[in-house]
Structure 1
Amino acid sequence: MQKYLDILKKYWGYDGFREKQDEIVKSIASGKDTLGLLPTGGGKSITFQVPAMTMDGVCIVITPLVALMKDQVANLQNKGIKALAVFNGLSNREINIAYDNCIYGDYKFLYMSPERLSTELFLTKLPQMKVSMLVVDEAHCISQWGYDFRPSYIKIADIRKELPEVPILALTATATPQIVDDIQDKLLFETKHVVQKSFERKNLAYIVRNVEDKLGELIKIVKAINACTVVFVRNRKKTKEYCEWLIQNGISAHYYHAGLTHQSKDKKQKEWMNDSVQVMVCTNAFGMGIDKPNVRLVVHMDAPDSLEAYFQEAGRAGRDEKKAYAVMLWNNADKTRLKRNMAVTFPEKDVINRVYQALGNYFQIAVGHGAERTFDFEMIPFAKAYGFNLLQVFNSLKILQRAEYVEYTEELNIPARLHITVGKSELYHLQVSNSNFDAFLKLLLRSYTGFWTDYVAIDEQTLAKRANVPLKTIFTYLNQLSKMKVVHYIPRKKTPQVFYVQDREEQRFVKLPNAIYKDRKADFEKRVSAVINYSDDTHMCRSQFLLQYFGDKKAKSCGQCDVCIDKKKKGINADALQELEQSIKEFLQEPKSKLELTAKFSDEKQWESILDWLIDNEIIYQNEEDKWCMK
Structure 2
Amino acid sequence: MLTDPAALLRSVFGFEAFRGVQAQVVERVLAGQPTLAIMPTGAGKSLCYQLPAVALPGCCVVVSPLIALMHDQLRSANALGIRAASLTSVDADWRETQDRLVAGDLDLLYVAPERASGDGFRALLDRARIALFAIDEAHCVSEWGHDFRPDYRLLRPLLDAFPDVPRLALTATADAHTRADILTQLGIPAEGLVISGFDRPNIRYVMQPRDGLKGQLREILAANPGPGIVYAPTRAATEQLAEALGQSGRSTRAYHAGLAPEVRARNQAAFLASEEMVMAATVAFGMGIDKPDVRFVVHAGLPKSIESYYQESGRAGRDGDPATAILLWGAEDFARARQRIGEVEPARQAGERTRIMALGALVETAGCRRAVLLRHFGEDPPPFCGNCDNCLAPPASIDATLTAQKLLSAVHRTGQSFGLGHIEAVLTGKSNDKIIQRGHDRLSVFGIVEGEEVALLKPVARALQVHDALTTTEHGGLALGPAARPYLKGEERVELVLPPAKARRSKRDNSANPVDDPIFDALRECRRDLAREAGVPPYVIFHDSTLREMARIRPMSQRDMALVSGVGERKLEAYGDAFLAVIRQFA
Aligning the two structures, in what range does the TM-score lie when normalised by the shorter sequence?
Answer: 0.5 to 0.7
Which residue number in structure 1 is paired with residue 122 of structure 2?
123
Tell me how far apart the structure 1 counterparts of residues 100 and 284 of structure 2 sit (CA, whole Å): 31
Paired residue for 2:59?
A: 58
User: Deviations along 1:48-81, whole A, 9 cap, x unmatched?
Assistant: 0111111111111112222212322343344443
Query: What's the CA shift string for 1:204-231, capped at 9, x where partnerless?
Result: 2212111231111111222133443221
Q: C-alpha distance in 2, partners of 1:227/1:170?
A: 32
Residue pairs, 1:157-236, within 5 angstroms? 157-190=156-189, 192-236=191-235
The within-5 A match list for 1:239-388 is 239-260=238-259, 265=264, 268-269=267-268, 271-273=270-272, 275=274, 277-344=276-343, 346=344
Asked if structure 1 preserves the Cα contact closer than 8 Å seen for 2:145 and 2:178, the reply is yes
What is the aligned partner in structure 2 of residue 24 from structure 1? 25
Structure 2 counterpart of 1:523:
351
What CA deviation, in whole Å up to 9, does each residue of 1:251-299 have, x standing for no partner?
Answer: 3323333455666556544554455534222222333353444433211
**Contact between 1:307 and 1:530, CA under 8 Å: does it hold in 2?**
yes
**SS of equivalent to 1:51:** helix
| Separation in 1, partners of 2:177, 2:488 | 42
In structure 2, do the counterparts of structure 1 residues 104 and 225 end up closer, same or farther at CA, with 3 Å as the change threshold? closer
User: Per-residue CA shift, 1:329-349, capped at 9, x if unaligned?
Assistant: 1112212222233344x3xxx
Please give the alpha-carbon distance, in whole angstroms, between the structure 2 residues aligned to 1:330 and 1:547. 20
- Equivalent of residue 562 in structure 1, options 379, 389, 396: 389
Alpha carbons 2:59, 2:104 under 8 Å: kept: no
Residue type of the alignment partner of 1:564: C
Residues 545-624 of structure 1 aligned to structure 2 (within 5 Å): 545-567=372-394
CA distance in 2, matches of 1:104, 1:624: 73
Equivalent-residue separation in structure 2 for 1:164 and 1:260 (angstroms): 43
Instruction: Give the equivalent residue in structure 1 for 2:550.
Output: none
Q: Which residue of 2 aligns with 1:38?
A: 39
- Decide whether aligned partners of structure 1 residues 241 and 29 sit closer, same or farther in structure 2, where only a CA change above 3 A counts: same
Q: For residues 200 and 554 of structure 1, what CA distance do their matches in structure 2 show?
A: 9
Unaligned runs of 5+ in 1: 347-516, 571-615
Q: Residue 368 of structure 2 corresponds to which residue in structure 1?
A: 541
Amino acid at match of 1:235: T
The amino acid that maps onto 2:385 is C
Give the direction of change, closer, same or farther, for the CA distance of 1:307–1:627 in structure 2 (3 Å limit).
closer
Query: How many Å apart are 1:168 and its aligned residue?
Result: 0.9
Alignment match, 1:361: none
- For 1:122 and 1:276, the matched residues in 2 are separated by 39
**What pairs up with 1:436-585 in 2 under 5 angstroms?**
517-535=345-363, 537-567=364-394
8 Å CA contact 2:202–2:320 kept in 1: the answer is yes
Counterpart in the other structure of 2:405: none
Distance change in 2, residues 1:278/1:86 (3 Å): closer
* Structure 2 CA distance for partners of 1:262 and 1:50, relative to 1, 3 Å: farther
Unaligned runs of 5+ in 2: 398-459, 468-485, 496-587
- Code of the residue aligned with 2:284 in structure 1: it is A
Q: Judging changes above 3 Å, is the alpha-carbon distance between structure 1 residues 75 and 560 closer, same or farther for their aligned structure 2 residues?
A: closer
Question: CA 1:30–1:335 in structure 2 vs 1: closer, same or farther (change >3 Å)?
Answer: same
Residues 119 and 259 of structure 1, relative CA distance in 2, 3 Å threshold: same
Change in CA separation of 1:285 and 1:625 when aligned onto 2, cut-off 3 Å:
closer
Q: Which whole-Å CA distance do the structure 1 matches of 2:490 and 2:108 have between them? A: 69
**What TM-score do the two structures reach when normalised by structure 2?**
0.62
Which SS does the other structure have where 1:135 is aligned? strand
Q: Is the 8 A contact 1:271 1:277 kept in 2?
A: no
TM-score, with structure 1 as normaliser: 0.58
SS of the residue corresponding to residue 174 of structure 1 reads: coil
Question: How many Å apart are 1:164 and its aligned residue?
Answer: 1.3
Q: Distance in 2 between matches of 1:623 and 1:530?
A: 19
Shift of 1:33: 1.2
Of residues 546-555 and 7-16 in structure 1, the stretch that sits farther from structure 2 once superposed is 7-16
Q: How many angstroms does 1:176 deviate by?
A: 0.7
Contact 2:225–2:276 (CA under 8 A) maintained in structure 1: no
1:447 corresponds to: none
Task: Give distance in 2, aligned partners of 1:276 and 1:135.
Answer: 31
Partners in 1 of 2:4 and 2:33 — Cα distance? Answer: 19
Amino acid at match of 1:204: I
Equivalences for 1:33-182 in 2 at 5 Å?
33-87=34-88, 98-182=97-181
1: CA distance between counterparts of 2:178 and 2:492? Answer: 39
Q: Distance in 2 between matches of 1:96 and 1:126?
A: 14
Aligned position for 1:351? none
Instruction: Output one character per residue of 1:340-363: Cα deviation in whole Å (capped at 9) or x when no partner.
Output: 33344x3xxxxxxxxxxxxxxxxx
Query: How far 1:137 moved relative to its partner?
Result: 1.0
Q: 1:531: Cα distance to partner?
A: 2.7
Cα gap change, 1:214 to 1:629, in 2 (>3 Å): closer
Cα distance change, pair 249–178 in 1 and its aligned pair in 2 (3 A): same
Task: State the 1:28 CA deviation.
Answer: 0.9
Question: 1:8: Cα distance to partner?
Answer: 3.5
Contact 2:67 2:288 in 1 (8 A): no
Does the aligned pair in 2 maintain the 1:118–1:155 contact within 8 Å?
A: yes
Distance 1:216 1:81 in 2: 46
2:9 equivalent in structure 1: 8
Counterpart amino acid of residue 22 in structure 2: Q
Q: 1:135 deviation in Å?
A: 0.8
8 Å contact 1:548–1:555 — kept in the other structure? no
Task: Please give the alpha-carbon distance, in whole angstroms, between the structure 2 residues aligned to 1:107 and 1:624.
Answer: 67
**Structure 2 CA distance for aligned equivalents of residues 528 and 95 of structure 1:** 44
> What is the aligned residue count?
411
- Quote the RMSD (CA, aligned, Å): 3.4
Instruction: Quickly say closer, same or farther: Cα 1:249–1:104, change in 2 above 3 A.
Output: closer
- One-letter amino acid of the counterpart of residue 70, structure 1: H
Residue 208 of structure 1 aligns to which amino acid in structure 2? M
Q: Is the 8 A contact 1:257 1:283 kept in 2?
A: yes
Q: How far did 1:186 drift?
A: 2.3
Are the aligned partners of 1:25 and 1:51 in contact in 2 as well (CA < 8 Å)? yes
Structure 2 Cα separation of the partners of residues 262 and 626 of structure 1: 55
Aligned partner letter, 2:193: V
Please give the alpha-carbon distance, in whole angstroms, between the structure 1 residues aligned to 2:229 and 2:493: 43
Q: Distance in 1 between matches of 2:73 and 2:292?
A: 17
**Aligned-residue identity in percent:** 35
